[in-house]
Amino acid sequence: MTDKRLKDRVALVTGGAQGIGKAIAARFAAEGATVIIADIDEATASATAAEIGAAAALHADVASDASVAALADEVKARFGRCEILVNNAAILDMTGISTMTMAHYRHVLDINQDGAVRMTLAMLPLIKQSGQGRRIVNIASIMGVRGQRDSIPYSAAKGAIVNFTRALAADVGADGITVNALAPGFINTRMALLPDGTGHEHDTDWFKDIYLKYGRILLGHAGTPEDIAGPAFFLCSDDARYVTGQILLVDGGVSATF
């Protein structure tokens, strides 16, 4: 049972069909928000919407100007407002400099970095004219604030999201809109599956040795999508009305051992 603290607010979550996006959408719906799931995977988005009681599942390719513009038009036509935008849609990529091409680099950034900018540009006019509690939350990553081998496109994009968040907060603060980012650590989602399909990275010997045996994750385990949904709800609640331009690392304490 919740207090329905997001009642009377419309929330749009990109990449909301599964993983972290789904957990955030479910928490917002439980808190009384009218939730719109925007995802490139329409079938999974529709199933998720039915499961969590979301108001709508809409197609969105965040790498496409036309798709994002069409989404913004549909949200305005159907709901008339949008108080909360969560820029979550992204792809995981583990590519190092020795194998990376510029075409590949641009592809990853077009989704993981430009996607959030593109969506914000399209939705901001509607957010500005909407009701109370106007919030933008970007999903970054601890890989956006530290270095890791074989992660150049992903880390570069998430690092850009970190400073996009700060700069956007400065631009829209006078409009009463807060902008913050969450930087998840190791979270048990489909993105954590090994490329060969043998399991999650959290089950590997190297992960257990580095992050668990030697205490790099202070809480001793990987997180869950719901561990990100709680902080996302906080940032969109009235309790966070004076919080903006911040990057909250939700990583079980990994960043304390950097």
Q: Please give the positions annotated as active site.
A: 154
First CA to last CA distance, the chain: 38
Q: How many residues does the chain have?
A: 258
DSSP state of 173: G
Say if residue 107 is exposed, middle or buried (CB neighbours under 10 Å; 0-12, 13-18, 19+): middle
Residue 123 token pair: 């939705």
CA 115, CA 191: separation in Å to the nearest integer? 18
CB under 8 Å to 39, separation ≥6 — which residues?
14, 15, 16, 17, 21, 45, 57, 59, 60, 89
What's the CA gap between 176 and 180, in Å, rounded?
13
